[in-house]
Chain A
Amino acid sequence: MKEIKSALLMLILFTVICGGIYPAVVTGLAHVIFPWQARGSFVTDPAGMVVGSTLIGQPFSEPKYLWPRPSATTDFGYNPLASGGSNAGPTNPAYLKTVDERLQGLRATGVTGPVAADLVQASASGLDPHISPQAASHQVGRIAMKRGLSEETVTRVITAHTEDRQFGFMGAPRVNVLAINLELDTIRP
């Protein structure tokens, strides 16, 4: 009986400590030290309107935009309320057909040679804000033509938003799709 009382009181106290005080302290410190990150890394346009988060990808599909990775979120790609992957097994025939269709779609825009896997395979979160530099390079010709820009200009914008491995060796090099498209929209031909 004594142990039941101890168990109950222990749970209540640890709920207060770990479920109340601890997250409150983290929130307080986070908002003092890293307020922008704690709120979601949102970016604004010059007029001060929020245009999205640097960390959450958006479903660009028009030819003038840099395309992100395929996304398997429900209803529509890059639905932030439905994060998740396709969970397709790599030997599933229906899945291989989907990948082939995506590949043919890219080929139709003039992409030749081996294609970067990340541009035809969906991400784990369905919200991946990045593509690989190779996946971006596949799209330079198409974007330049649609926007009437030189390929050098488009490449320059992509390079400016390419992040190297963190500290030179962690993770993989990547380009932020939203950042590039926002900048492309500001350039007049």
Chain B
Amino acid sequence: MMNTYDWQQTLFFFAVLLLLVKPVGTFMAKVYQGERTLLSPLLVPCENLLYRICGVNKDEEMGWQRYATAMLLFNLVGFVALFALLLLQHLLPLNPQGLSAFPWQLALNSAISFTTNTNWQAYSGETAASYFTQMAGLTVHNFVSAATGMAIVIALIRSFSRRKTSLLGNFWVDMSRGTLYILLPLALIAALVLVSQGVIQNFSPYRTTPLVQATSYDKAQLDDAGKTRLDTTGKPVTDKVIVSEVTIPMGPVASQEAIKELGTNGGGFFNANSSHPYENPTPLSHLLEILLILLIPAGLTYTFGIMVGNTRQGWTLLAVMLLLFVVAFSVLQWAETSSTPQLTQLGINGGNMEGKEVRFGMAGTSLFEVATTGTSCGAVAAMHDSLTPIGGLVPLSLILLGEIVFGGVGSGLYTMLAFAIIAVFVSGLMIGRTPEYLGKKIEVREMWVSIITILCAGVVVLILSGIAMITPAAVSSMANPGAHGLTEVLYAFASMANNNGSAFAGLSANINFYNILGSLAMLIGRYVPAVAILAMAGSLAAKKYVPPSLGTLPTDKAPFAIWLILVILIVGALTFFPALALGPIVEHLTMLGGN
């Protein structure tokens, strides 16, 4: 289902990504261990000034409770500031279109969404968010929510390499360094490359341009109550509107686009997200955006390897991610190029192009959608709601597995490490040995945390989707009938609880039900695992090192990688198979049956 060019493009992409893993991973390890890097002469003075103003002693390390408290406080302050900013948008500067304030339910949902690195958007950027909101609110959270995720996984990694200590590092230092040394420089370079391809970057008012050929549409008349006016036969009364010019939205897009992908945030400047030609104009910008999504998650596996003193441990995890990625990509690409029997019978060829852009090509589109849902990104270059049933199953499954296929920045690796701990534990049970991972004994506390991390989001998804199915307002938000409608709702809660942010966007999600329950899902899905992981880091750091013995399972070799994949798939299948069977799988079978 791929032509020669598709193969070349795909192999080229993976070659570039894999070549960057070692340099990026090494750089990040140096940054978090406070070693000198190329950027140190420039950034060390800035960093020290920052700490002095904020009253942070960079040499003072924190135990897990303090680390978690600092993380939560920082996120809380960020949430409050963003919530206020959205409510006061109409009074703030840089609002050339005079956009009004967010209603509080939408502001609540959006503020939580961006603070938790979810970037679920129940609004359209071009008609709802001012330039000030996009920059001082959303762009800032794109940076710091990513840096927060990275800080948490670094604390966890330290707990494996340290012995008999309660200290995990300093949250302020880890968060600041992640932003200043890693995210900002990469985003700056990427933003300029994106502009070269046609991504816009300006503060101009929206631009009105004439159409070469005027168009027209029938606009429904509204009565005084704001409802559509009907004539005596019950049809809507309409006026013919001639459109001879259109208004094209402008804004500082490139600077947000770069960090939106790099920080696996995914909140689009425009409603159409990365399918919008001003966000993603060429095949090169497209591949660069995919690379940005995967760069830090892939690099972190090498950082992990360096910091625990055995880079093969990191390569093993990367191999697991890569294999799952290739499988997901293959299924999606097959499903979309095969299209559906109903469309093929009409005499249409070229695969399923609904909700896709011509310039990216089928294979490029599939690559983006797997990358964005295998991580916690959630940017989209195609509309997931219009994927074929099996095609739509792929992003949904990747999100439900906990976004570990490269994973969100930081959160992906710590979820993967939780899976690794479960894999070690289960295999330990089989051979009757005390399980160990990286020289640390895995005991009750570690198992509790790993299970909470992995099942937390799943439980939230299933319960909230169940509640939605018995709530009339939630059901009437579905855009498509039958099994596809269930998939829309399941996808919405999966996306929010796993902090992804992409959508089966036909669902009218800007109603109180989804705004408020969704906010809850995002909060639980982000902070319960994050705090649990820090608690586990506290307990691991305090343990002594157990040297590997004859009975220790080597976790840096191929058999462990295969075992880990099996554990991931079994846990995923046991949790979600019933729900998936009622959604995309039923839709696929009825489609094949010709209904």
Contacts and interface: CB of A to CB of B under 8 A. Distances in A.
| Same assembly | yes
Interface of A: 2-11, 13-15, 17-20, 22-23, 25-27, 29-31, 33-34, 37-42, 49-62, 65, 69, 75-93, 95-96, 99-100, 103, 113-118, 120-132, 134, 165-172, 174, 178, 181-182, 185
B62 to A, nearest CB: 10
B209 A165 contact: no
B211 A52 contact: yes
Interface string B180-217: 10001001100110011111111110110111110111
A114 B348 contact: yes
17 contacts: A14-B144, A22-B139, A22-B188, A37-B195, A38-B254, A52-B210, A52-B211, A56-B277, A59-B213, A87-B479, A89-B386, A99-B348, A117-B353, A123-B356, A128-B359, A130-B359, A170-B287
B243 interface: yes
Contact of A124 (B142, B219, B272): B272
B36 to A, nearest CB: 22
B347 A80 contact: no
B74 A10 contact: yes
Contact of A172 (B69, B340, B360): B360
Interface in B345-387: 346-362, 364, 380-383, 385-387
B278 A40 contact: yes
A169 B8 contact: yes
B505 A7 contact: no
B217 to A, nearest CB: 4
Complex A-B, nearest 4 residue pairs according to Cβ-Cβ distance, in ascending order: A171-B283, A87-B506, A124-B275, A172-B361
Contact of A6 (B54, B219, B286, B355): B54
Contact of A18 (B144, B353, B355, B587): B144
A30 B192 contact: yes
B469 interface: no
B82 to A, nearest CB: 10
Contact of B480 (A2, A57, A89, A169): A89
A34 B119 CA distance: 29
A20 B480 contact: no
A85 B284 contact: no
Nearest to B137: A19
A62 B211 CA distance: 13
A125 B276 contact: yes
Given A82-B124, A124-B382, A126-B272, A26 B255 contact: yes
A114 B347 contact: yes
Given A8-B77, A25-B188, A118-B350, A58 B286 contact: no
Contacts of B204: 39
A117 B357 CA distance: 11
Nearest to B259: A18
A46 to B, nearest CB: 14
B253 to A, nearest CB: 9
Nearest to B76: A7
> Which of B142, B191, B591: most chain A CB closer than 10 A?
B191
A165 B283 contact: yes
Contacts of B481: 92-93
Interface in B452-478: none
A185 B358 contact: no
B252 interface: yes
B447 interface: no
A124 B383 contact: yes
A33 B216 contact: no
Nearest to B46: A17
Contact of A118 (B9, B200, B358): B358
Contacts of A13: 50, 53-54
Given A15-B136, A15-B140, A40-B248, A174 B358 contact: yes
B54 A30 contact: no
A42 B209 contact: yes
B277 A87 contact: no
A177 to B, nearest CB: 10
A114 B349 CA distance: 6
A92 B272 contact: no
A123 B191 contact: no
B343 interface: yes
Contacts of A9: 53-55
Nearest to B77: A7
Contacts of B355: 85-87, 121-124
B281 A55 contact: yes
A122 B213 contact: no
A6 B201 contact: no
A52 B339 CA distance: 34
Contact of B505 (A14, A87, A165, A181): A87
Contacts of B276: 83, 125, 127
A155 B271 CA distance: 35
B575 interface: no
B271 A83 contact: yes
Nearest to B354: A121
Interface stretch (B150-158, B171-179, B307-315, B400-408): B171-179
Contacts of A134: 350
Interface centre among A2, A23, A80, A116 (most CB of B within 10 A): A23
Interface centre among B272, B388, B484, by most A CB within 10 Å? B272
Nearest to B256: A23
B140 A19 contact: yes
Nearest to B484: A89
Given A87-B506, A167-B284, A172-B361, A121 B352 contact: yes
B559 to A, nearest CB: 37
B358 A30 contact: no
Given A103-B347, A134-B350, A170-B287, 5 more contacts: A2-B55, A18-B140, A25-B188, A124-B275, A166-B282
A131 B358 contact: yes
B516 interface: no
Given A37-B195, A128-B357, A181-B212, A90 B386 contact: yes
Contacts of B5: 165, 168-169
B350 A123 contact: no
Contacts of B362: 172
A158 B529 CA distance: 55
Contact of A62 (B213, B249, B361): B213
Contacts of B587: 89, 91
B20 interface: no
Contacts of A93: 481
A60 B243 CA distance: 12
Nearest to A172: B361
B389 interface: yes
Given A87-B385, A118-B353, A127-B272, A26 B254 contact: yes
Contact of B213 (A5, A49, A57, A65): A65
B140 A14 contact: yes
B272 A84 contact: yes
Interface string B91-132: 000000000000000000000000000000000101100000
B358 to A, nearest CB: 4
B505 to A, nearest CB: 5
A76 to B, nearest CB: 4
